Chains A and B, each alone.
Chain A
Amino acid sequence: MLDQILIQTVNGIVTGMILALVASGLTLIFGIMDVVNFAHGELFMLGAYVGVLTLAATGNFWLALITATLLIALLGAVIHVTILRPLLGRDPLTTILATFGLSLVLQNYALWQFGPVARKIAEPFSGHFSLFYLDYPWYRLVIALLSGAIIGALWLFLKFGTYGIWIRATTQDRVMAQAMGIPVPLVLTAVFAIGSGMAAASGVLFGPLVGVTYIMGLDWILKAFIVVVVGGMGNLGGSIAASILISLLESYASLWVSPAQAVIVSFVALILTLLFRPTGLFVPTRR
């Protein structure tokens, strides 16, 4: 029993870190731009497809990871300039509808372009180590570490970089940020691009575990939204903590019920959070 719990702990943390990578892009976009990006899952999915194509062309997984991140970041910038910037200052509902529409367009584009059959991304290395009775793939630990490293780099960038200060100032007071000479429209586009790139990176990293399909974004986006709400909208640290918490809960639950049913745990956590701490579990209570 103890061994099973340990294995599930490792599993939960690994999935939690990937979820954290998806969710931190989402929460960054929400916290800074007040945009609920329903197309985030599709950016994750398109990232994975770009990974598939680059891998097929070059055979280099790491090159595929970088290409997908940069290309989807660029796509994110284009999406922001063409679709979201014109909606700036309108009712938030309009951005929800716009990104939802965009998600349908991107999904169907992927279906048309790549077909319904799942593509496979090969793991960049196939080593295993023994974890009790299991051969546990090293790759899973590496993605957890890489996700952590990407999130850590984002945090350092936000905390110390000049552009990080610009981004945080924009979050706190958009008008005043402009009055201090910060090019806010550019900052918003950059943030959307960074969030999109992070979604794409998680898509490539996670591709080897699940297979790449045009609807792979759906599961993740749903969970990422749960995590963002449970962690507190726009709160980066909270999203990471919530990702790990929810993934651990699901892992433990799957000891007793089937993994498909274990998902229920996330929704229970969501409902309980909304009932008792609607601002999020990991948000310091404000005056």
Chain B
Amino acid sequence: MSDVATIAHNDFRNVRRSRILWGVIALYVAFMALLFYASGTGASPDVRDTLFGAVFITTLVLPLVAIAASYLAVAGERESNTIRFLLSQPASRRSVVLGKFLSRGLLLTAALVVAVLVGVAFVLALYPALEPMALAKFTGLTLLLIGAYVSVSIAISSASASRSRAIAATMAFYFVTDILSVINAFSVKAAMKWVFGEILGLGISEELYEGLSTVISPAKAYVNSTLAIFSPENFQRIQIPGELPFYLETWFMIVVLLAWVVVPLVAGMLALDGAEIG
């Protein structure tokens, strides 16, 4: 297993010298800084209020940053032939996938930590209260979002022999599971309702549609998981009619996100294991 650490270390060393990647990360940090600053200088600044906007920005932007940082992790090595150097060493292909995941995940974690620290600085300067629990929950749940999208991107990268395939597949995944899942009017959920409800005439409850569309989208699972921060008791904008089924509770959202970290990673290992490096 020591080769995982070596690969992660050297991959991190290589990738952190990429200026383009720093640019993409800086964009996310800048969005967050702007949000915390703008809310902080408005009337009656509130951390939860600001975090509500932060979840929105993070849901749309951070998966894109994760994809940009990860989609070439393995496919790029195959296209540029550097993988021959790596696999000529006694490194297992599974260690390559795992090492890449750790390295790219660490990069995204660093981006998140910087963004949150900048946010905390603004909170300390401009807000009446810090609300550390809300900030900590936001950070923890966002880490899971990062893990899910980095894992999927690494898996797709491991299954792709070329750069173009990797970018096509990761972007398709982003659009379906993020844009088309979290925007309600035009969403995968609406499509499911149309197919199952209108066409097949199945009587499926609203909650079940929500649950189904959540299981297939890490971004949606992330958004729903933030109920842990914005519970109806402490956040006016969130209203829940009646009792939530278990599969829409926060703990289940965390299970879904964890599955999105583990399952693609295993699939990526198997894909690279079976790949012919010709």
Does chain A bind chain B? no
Residues of B within 8 A of A (CB): none
